[in-house]
Structure 1
């Protein structure tokens, strides 16, 4: 007998997959490597997790009148410097940021569980004409944002040590050795050179 389709559970599965992929990118790396800025805009793994915590605390907290009970000074503070949510200070440990994200995650899950998909919330940082949305719409937005940042983390992690994929069982890449990948990359570089 087939089970009834549960759209909320389906959306939660996608969100959870993106969350787990983002946190998994930190596994096995040094403190230096999780904090290293590897793009010109400073993108780093621990900062992506910190940012995701802030995003979920807002969208599944304030938006639905269920504020996350802990202060996030880099997010809520009027004197927070630009991009303060995108990197970990020397006083913020990996363990603290991951634990915070897991607490935010639990708070968000409680909001998702408590409300119907058509429940309406107000996103105060969106333009006035776009600020009222359903839980369904907000879930889709946060899934898209979390997946986007998990993709950023995938590239940053690959730059650090070559690891790719959503977890240690799913690389999402052809299973080839280092020599094959070197030859493949060389062929792509040669092709690109033809267009200089």
Structure 2
């Protein structure tokens, strides 16, 4: 995928394309990292690049469950899963995290393809303190926009974490990941270049 979303034919294609673009730039933050670097927590936060990718997949999957009105887990269990979703488990690799993210992306595309009207209501789960109590339903469109927002937020977090790991920044990483040619004003990232 290039640095920008290509032209889109309609709203549905646009929403899914922008969501995929944000997934792509989030994944690029891990380009060229070792497993140890993907787990690294180089700032005062407890965030790692691998953990952010894992969390974002977990979150997207959870929103699709809400959209499908799947029963929620008890709050204690849900919070444990949420917290574990930020950390790459022992033995879990970047390849595992990417495979799970790909699986979630396919599920999202399949579910959205089966919904005729993006205005279809999605009931707001009740009794969850961070959801509005005065709103009965979002729309499928709102859920997709929220997923774009959530993914973009964490892509930005991942960019900051990555820069703390080895100095690499988003555009040179994207150039390296996508095979852009070197120009007088842009050199694709390469290992050891930013250290």
> TM-score, structure 1 length as denominator?
0.73
Q: 1:118-137 maps to which residues of 2 (within 5 A)?
A: 118-124=119-125, 125=128, 126-130=131-135, 132-137=137-142
Matched with 1:60 is 64
Deviates most, 21-30 or 135-144: 21-30
Deviations 1:67-123 (A, max 9, x none): 8xxxxx9x9935727722111121322221211111011101111221121111124
* Runs of 5+ unmatched residues, structure 2: 1-6, 188-195
Kindly state the Cα deviation for residue 134 of structure 1 after the two structures are TM-superposed: 0.4
Matched with 1:175 is 185
> Which structure is richer in relative contact order (CA contacts within 8 A, separation 6 or more)?
2
Matched with 1:150 is 155
Q: 1:9-158 maps to which residues of 2 (within 5 A)?
A: 9-65=13-69, 77-78=77-78, 80=80, 83-115=83-115, 116-124=117-125, 125=128, 126-130=131-135, 132-158=137-163
Deviations 1:42-86 (A, max 9, x none): 11101101111111111122322368xxxxx9x993572772211
Deviates most, 76-85 or 22-31: 76-85
Distance 1:4 1:110, change over 3 A: closer
- Rg larger in structure: 1
Deviations 1:151-183 (A, max 9, x none): 11111111222222252258xxx9378xxxxxx
Deviations 1:118-157 (A, max 9, x none): 1111242423323511011111111011001011111111
